Amino acid sequence: MPISVERSPELTVHPEEVEVPPQLADVGIRAVEREFKTPVTNDRGQPLVTTPATQKISIQLPAARGQLLAWAKGPVSDSLTWFAAFWLRVIKKAVHFGWSLIVGESK
């Protein structure tokens, strides 16, 4: 007995540029650009906005990774466990995004 599969309609592509209708523009609503394709500079030529692609991020860890792993295995009611879990997540994000890590001394 064949099963009929219902297909969803084709996706519609929305333009990247948002056009604000005139009645909303009269009220004061406007589109705000969030990702800049060219660097935004002030009158002296210094950059005003740093985009994530050009931004260099470095994270200083409170302890060595092994110490954080040990702390993360603690009881759920201990705040140190959650502190370590937070920093392990930051390490994963740093590796994914290519941030530089500065490891602190373990106690």
41-86 pLDDT per residue, tens: 888 888 776 656 666 788 888 888 899 999 999 999 999 999 999 9
Query: Does residue 8 belong to any structural domain of this protein?
Result: no
Q: In the 8-state DSSP scheme, what is residue 103? A: E
User: Is residue 11 domain-resident?
Assistant: no
Which residues touch 84 (CB under 8 Å, ≥6 apart)?
A: 68, 69, 70, 71, 72, 74
Name the residue range of residue 89's domain: 22-103
Burial 18-53 (b: 16+ CB within 10 A, else e): eeeeeeeeeeeeeeeeeeeeeeeeeeeeeeeeeeee
Residue 15 covered by a domain: no
19 φ, ψ to 5°?
-100, 125
CB 70 within 8 A of CB 89: no
- Asked if residue 51 belongs to a domain, the reply is yes
pLDDT of 38 over the 60 cut: yes
pLDDT of 43 reads: 86
Q: What total of structural domains would you count in the chain?
A: 1
Whether the predicted pLDDT of 39 surpasses 80: no
Question: Is the residue at 6 inside a domain?
Answer: no
**pTM for the predicted model, two decimal places:** 0.49
